[in-house]
Amino acid sequence: MSQKNKKRVSASQSSQVKGGKTQDVEMDSDEDVSLTQPSSTQLQRSLARLTPAQVDRKMAEVVQFILIKDQKKVPIKRADIVKHVVKEYKNIYNEIMKRVSKTFEQVFGLKLVEIDVKHHCYILINKLEHVEDDNLSLGGSPKTGLLLVILGIIFMRGGVVKESLIWSTLKKLRVEPGERHEDFGDVRKLVVDEFVRQKYLEYVRVPHTDPVEFEFRWGLRAENQVSKKKVLEFFAKVQDQDPKIWASQYKEAEQSGSASELK
Amino acid sequence: MAGPMTDSHRRFLQTMMCNGIVDGAKAKTLHRLCCEIHKVSYAPDKLDEFVNIINTHLQPMFMQIRKGMSEEDGQQYYALVNLADTEITRMASDYSDNELELFRKAMDLIVESENGMACSTDILNLADKLQSKKMKKKEVEGVLQRLVVDKWLCEKNGEYTLSTRCIMEMEQYIRNMYQDLVKLCNICHNIAIQSQMCENPSCGIKMHVPCVARYFRGRTEPHCPACNEFWPHEIPGKLTVLLLRNL
């Protein structure tokens, strides 16, 4: 089963699997792999040929793989999971992933979220409520603080902010892109590179600008994992105000609900 | 039969995942806090039971929260370890091939030494012998620094040894890799890296420094427990007090 061959198996259909509909199989060497997922009888037969131990083992390897990859906070591609771990078991990929998701929830209190349905990328988010406690030292690094500030600026300004405004605001907090910061190092790299790669921020070119301008939005991970309510509260605390005075943001924060945590 | 996982267990596990290794006191505090936050019944002597429940659920993933002893101070530590037989999986994603090779070679030096320490000069000299991409001396220093920060190695006065976390995580690998080259402590029967060795060439047993302190506590003339030769090494005093407090 060489990764380098291109094979087409059947006509394409929808990408739902649980109902047992089939799909295109196309093996691209590095990029996205769409998977043939069997009908329910085929699935049963596939599973029957493998021992439960083998399937569990594969599931365990996928869990390990995702945990290791998640340390970097970079989204995990389905193609990588198939290429490096699932391999010859790819025809029961969805069955394996179902068990993987269940394991993450029940054992680790984490949720595996597919943030990009087109390119099939996953992130792990925390299902447990964030708790302020120094003793637990749950990774509240200075970077998290900086990120919260930036997310706050973007949120308070309606969801999109020009890059220049971010830097001018951070300058007031004595964080400058040109200088090397004690806690953050190369701040520009952290904000424009690391936070964007980790999908906390989106950094998008503004069209028809010369010289080129960029703007920041919340990234997919922030959307899924950061509570708008917490961001507003944080912002209000910094300004020493009641969060309610920002009426539209308050409404948006209330509506977006909770059940997420900024790791 | 272990009970079901609750959010208190999950929170404990998540913290262990963030920290890799925690000392006994912190583990006890963490246990209490996790139970308080999620309003489950708590008793201070139930920590092992609590951890066992987590371990039962971690078993299919070849992971475990393990109790171990620090070779330096004899303190108890809890570490989340990976038992899968692909040895250096956890490290593999953070370090490149030649960095891992350097680490393995440094580990060779450490394990084969008498006292479990390898000086930085010797490790720097390894850089030229790497089969994968060669490394400059400056690079080696950088890698060693990262290994210390990531809690795989400990550094003391320019000498390097394996950290508690490293020994707990890689116990199986070390035993398989080094077999007879690695000795077990005569007292506690765990792998002995940082240790004292009997000077009698036909004996050569090893003992951890905290184990030495415990064994020779109160004795005026220390003798090797195996061959009875005089034990010439320094018997730590202050540690005895620490150990007495923990026992």
The CATH number of the domain holding residue B43 is 3.90.1150.220
**A124-142, pLDDT tens digit by residue?**
988 887 665 544 443 446 6
Choose the mutation target among B5, B8, B10 for the interface with A, i.e. most A CBs under 10 Å. Answer: B10
pLDDT at residue B238 greater than cutoff 90: no
Nearest-Cα residue of chain A relative to residue B56: A107
Q: Which residues pair with B155 in a beta bridge?
A: B160
Domain with B138, as residue range(s), is 88-171
Q: Do A56 and B33 touch (CB under 8 A)?
A: no
Q: Do B57 and A128 touch (CB under 8 A)?
A: no
Predicted pLDDT of residue B138: 86
CATH of A134-254, one of 1.10.10.1210, 3.40.50.2000, 1.10.10.10, 3.40.640.10: 1.10.10.1210
Tally of domains in chain B: 3
Q: Are both B129 and B162 inside the same structural domain?
A: yes
Q: Do A108 and B62 touch (CB under 8 A)?
A: no
Residue B2 belongs to some domain of the structure? no
Q: How many residues appear in chain B?
A: 247
Closest-CA distance, A71 to chain B, in angstroms, reads: 9
Nearest-Cα residue of chain A relative to residue B14: A108
| Distances, alpha carbon B3 to alpha carbons A17, A244, B9, B50, in Å | 33, 44, 11, 9
Q: Are both B210 and B235 inside the same structural domain?
A: yes
Annotated domain spans of chain A = 27-130, 134-254
Q: Do B57 and A107 touch (CB under 8 A)?
A: yes
A50-74 average pLDDT score: 85
**Which of B139, B171, B203 is at the close of a domain?**
B171
DSSP B133: S
Predicted pLDDT of residue A257: 61
B2-26 average pLDDT score: 90
State which fold the A27-130 domain adopts: Arc Repressor Mutant, subunit A (1.10.10)
Query: Is some CB atom of chain A closer than 8 A to the CB atom of B88?
Result: no
Predicted pLDDT of residue A263: 38
Q: Looking at residue B208, which CATH number applies to its domain?
A: 3.30.40.10
Q: Is A232 exposed, middle or buried (0-12, 13-18, 19+ CB in 10 A)?
A: buried
- With beta carbons less than 8 A apart as the criterion, state whether A116 and A220 touch: yes
DSSP B183: P
Q: What is the CA radius of gyration of chain B?
A: 20
Predicted pLDDT of residue A8: 33
Residue B32 belongs to some domain of the structure? yes
Q: Is A205 exposed, middle or buried (0-12, 13-18, 19+ CB in 10 A)?
A: exposed
Among the partner residues B11, B57, B60, nearest to A56 by beta-carbon distance: B60
Predicted pLDDT of residue B91: 60
C-alpha–C-alpha distance, residues A121 and A70, integer Å: 12
- Which of A143-157, A182-196, B160-174 is predicted most confidently? B160-174
Closest-CA distance, A107 to chain B, in angstroms, reads: 6
Q: Are both B165 and B217 inside the same structural domain?
A: no
pLDDT at residue A246 greater than cutoff 90: no
Choose the mutation target among B5, B7, B14, B52 for the interface with A, i.e. most A CBs under 10 Å. Answer: B14
Predicted pLDDT of residue B86: 53
Q: Looking at residue B146, which CATH number applies to its domain?
A: 1.10.10.10
- With beta carbons less than 8 A apart as the criterion, state whether B243 and B74 touch: yes
Residue B18 belongs to some domain of the structure? yes
Indicate if ipTM > 0.85: no
Least confident of A48-57, A176-185, B238-247: B238-247
Instruction: Check if A27-130 and A134-254 are the same fold.
Output: yes
Per-residue pLDDT band for A49 (boundaries 50, 70, 90) equals: confident
Query: Is some CB atom of chain A closer than 8 A to the CB atom of B31?
Result: no
Q: Are both B75 and B93 inside the same structural domain?
A: no
